[in-house]
């Protein structure tokens, strides 16, 4: 089931619901008012739909700055408080390099190469702990 959640006004970033997951696709620059509204929209959508995951597709973002890094980290922190995990997908190599150079570690965020990979990550069931504390598949 795919629903486009209502986002009032123009210039808003659409938040799509795919079952228990929210999908947000960023295109171009994200301005202060748009970022603030996006954070609010995602928080409300998580609570209203009991979403367990948020996928943020940044494949349309060519330039990253500390503002965007902070917005992504804040979205992840708020989602985590609402019992949802966040995965950022589609980061271009140049964007990743810039984020490292800016010192943006983005705590609480997982990454995936594509939106499809990110959807798999947020819908995968966690592996139960094994006796002795070792996780299955851990090295």
80: part of which helix (H) or strand (E)?
Answer: helix 66-81
Decide: helix, strand or coil at residue 134. Answer: coil
Per-residue model confidence as pLDDT tens digits over 63-103: 888 888 889 999 999 999 999 999 999 999 988 888 888 88
In a domain, 132, yes or no: no
In a domain, 71, yes or no: yes
Find the CATH number of the domain harbouring 28.
Answer: 3.30.750.24
**Average model confidence (pLDDT) across the chain:** 84
> 125 or 1: which carries more pLDDT confidence?
125
Question: For the residues 114-134, what does the mean pLDDT come to?
Answer: 76
What's residue 126's pLDDT?
62
Question: For the residues 109-133, what does the mean pLDDT come to?
Answer: 80
In a domain, 25, yes or no: yes
Question: For the residues 102-121, what does the mean pLDDT come to?
Answer: 89
Residue 109 pairs in a beta bridge with 86
Question: For the residues 111-115, what does the mean pLDDT come to?
Answer: 95
Domain of 58, in residue numbers: 2-125
> Is the predicted pLDDT of residue 8 greater than 50, yes or no?
no
User: Please, how many CA atoms are within 13 Å of residue 122, restricted to the half-sphere of its CB?
Assistant: 31
In total, how many domains does the chain have? 1
In a domain, 84, yes or no: yes
């Amino acid at each position: 089931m795919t629903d486009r959640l209502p986002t009032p006004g123009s210039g808003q970033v659409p938040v799509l619901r795919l079952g228990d997951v929210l999908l947000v696709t960023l295109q171009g620059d994200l301005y202060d008012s748009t970022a603030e509204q996006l954070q609010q929209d995602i928080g409300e959508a998580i609570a209203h739909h009991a979403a367990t995951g948020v996928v943020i597709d940044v494949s349309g973002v060519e330039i990253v700055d500390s503002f965007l890094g902070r917005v992504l980290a804040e979205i992840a922190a708020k989602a985590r408080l609402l019992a949802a995990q966040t995965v950022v997908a589609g980061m271009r190599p140049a964007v990743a390099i810039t984020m490292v150079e800016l010192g943006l570690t983005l705590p609480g965020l997982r990454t995936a190469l594509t939106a499809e990979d990110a959807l798999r990550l947020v819908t995968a069931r966690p592996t139960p702990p094994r006796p002795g504390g070792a996780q299955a598949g851990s090295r």
